[in-house]
Amino acid sequence: MSKRAVAAAALVGAMIIGLTACSSGSGSSDGKKSDGKLTIGFAQVGAESGWRTANTKSIQDAAKKAGVTLKFSDAQQKQENQIKAIRSFIQQKVDVIAFSPVVESGWDTVLKEAKAAHIPVILTDRAVDSKDESLYVSFLGSDFVEEGKKAGDWLVKEYASGSGDVNIVQLEGTTGSAPANDRKSGFADAIKGDPKFKIVASQTGDFTRAKGKEVMQAFLKSQPKIDVLYAHNDDMALGAIQAIEEAGKKPGTDIKIVSVDGVKDAFTAMSQGKINFDVECNPLLGDQLMELAKKVKAGESVPRRIQTEEGTFTPEQATAALPSRQY
């Protein structure tokens, strides 16, 4: 049994390594750094969503445009793969390491290795919870609390004139993930000033369409009156829209929907009036990253925290932006 287990595990392991190798090969070029070109090693989380794929593409395109040599690695949502990738970047002596940490903790050792090798590290999209602030030079990414706050602010404005209670149901992201925690607290902060806003039900929909639909169906039956749905991402909102329609109600009219992300499918729904407000969470941070990396390489001081440029969308803006939406 154990021998077979080992053989099977080895087989599976070999497959995974093979896949990783494939995907890392696609993004990187020859890797020579003789001509003084900037070389960046980027360890991506994976390709778990359309958002992430757009993020990857943006970084690859920006690198090409900026004449930067990009060594790209896909960690397939596993921390150990990311740590391996960062170690290999250190060995290859890249100029700057950038990565999107899969989880928040457990990075100190590998980041210390990078520091010892004098390679600056930039975090993108997600933060780490390390106490030693010298381990990375800057964090470029969205402010999830701010996103939640924007969603809440819109709601407060939308219902500024009304006096009756506003019953809100919330579809949370994956329990314990940073975007879920922060989007929840930002939203709660924004609406806490007015007691008429009541979150009557809140459950996790795991950031997926299927779960969003399932949970919303249950909400529609257990809650006698729902005025507003706040979803932590567009996929859950899209699932919930189907549930609302099946219940014989009109999404966007009978139940107002606020969501976060701004993916293409959501814009399509907005153009049909099914989502009322969408807070953008911009994956297109490639250009900003390249600029930042150049500054870091040149020894300029950079801010510790850089926010990606993000906006918010009303249905009209979304309809206008739909044809040019990349993701």
Partner 1 sequence: MMSTAAAASPVKAVTRSRLFWPAVVLAVLLAANLAFTPDFFAVRLQGGHLYGSLIDILHFGAPLILVSLGMTLVIATGGIDLSVGSTVAISGALACLHISESTDPGSLATVLTAAGIALGTALLLGAVNGLLVAKVGVQPIIATLILMVAGRGVAQLITDGQIITVTSDPYKLIGGGYWLTMPFAILLSALVVLATVLLTRSTALGLLLESVGGNPVASRLVGIRAMRLVALVYVFSALCAALAGLMVSSNVSAADGNNAGLWIELDAILAVVLGGTSLNGGRFSIGGTVLGALIIQTLSTTVYTIGIPPETTLVFKAFVVIVVCLIQSPAFRAKLAARGARARRTARPHAAAPTTNREVGA
Q: Which residues bind partner 1 (CB under 8 A)?
A: 1, 4-5, 8, 11-12, 15-16, 19, 46-50, 52-53, 76, 172, 175-176, 201-204, 206, 208-211, 213-215, 217-219, 221-222, 235, 238-239, 242, 246-248, 265
β partners of residue 70: 40
The token pair that represents 116 in the structure block? 């010892």
Q: How far is the CB of 218 from partner 1 (least distance, A)?
A: 3
In the bound state with partner 1, the residue whose beta carbon lies nearer, of 92 and 208, is: 208
Strand (E) positions, the chain?
A: 39-44, 69-74, 96-99, 121-124, 138-141, 166-172, 197-204, 228-231, 256-261, 277-280, 305-307, 312-313
Q: How far is the CB of 55 from partner 1 (least distance, A)?
A: 11
Cβ–Cβ < 8 Å for 80, 43: no
In the bound state with partner 1, the residue whose beta carbon lies nearer, of 77 and 319, is: 77
Cβ–Cβ < 8 Å for 47, 78: no
Q: What is the DSSP letter of 194?
A: -
Q: How far is the CB of 246 from partner 1 (least distance, A)?
A: 8
Residue 108 burial (CB < 10 Å; 0-12/13-18/19+)? middle
Q: How far is the CB of 167 from partner 1 (least distance, A)?
A: 13
In the bound state with partner 1, the residue whose beta carbon lies nearer, of 29 and 223, is: 223
In the bound state with partner 1, the residue whose beta carbon lies nearer, of 120 and 183, is: 183
In the bound state with partner 1, the residue whose beta carbon lies nearer, of 16 and 320, is: 16
In the bound state with partner 1, the residue whose beta carbon lies nearer, of 43 and 90, is: 43
In the bound state with partner 1, the residue whose beta carbon lies nearer, of 92 and 202, is: 202
Strands of the sheet containing 305-307, edge to edge, are 69-74, 39-44, 96-99, 121-124, 138-141, 305-307
Count of CB atoms within 10 A of residue 80's CB?
A: 10
Q: What is the DSSP letter of 313?
A: E
In the bound state with partner 1, the residue whose beta carbon lies nearer, of 265 and 310, is: 265
Q: How far is the CB of 16 from partner 1 (least distance, A)?
A: 8
Rounded Cα distance, 274 and 242, in Å: 10
In the bound state with partner 1, the residue whose beta carbon lies nearer, of 60 and 69, is: 60
β partners of residue 74: 44
Q: How far is the CB of 279 from partner 1 (least distance, A)?
A: 20
Cα 298 to Cα 291, 292, 302, distances in angstroms:
11, 10, 11
Count of CB atoms within 10 A of residue 139's CB?
A: 18
Distance between first and last Cα of the chain: 47
Asked whether the CA dihedral 53, 57, 58, 60 is positive or negative, the reply is: positive
Q: How far is the CB of 193 from partner 1 (least distance, A)?
A: 24
Q: How far is the CB of 268 from partner 1 (least distance, A)?
A: 9
Q: How far is the CB of 257 from partner 1 (least distance, A)?
A: 16
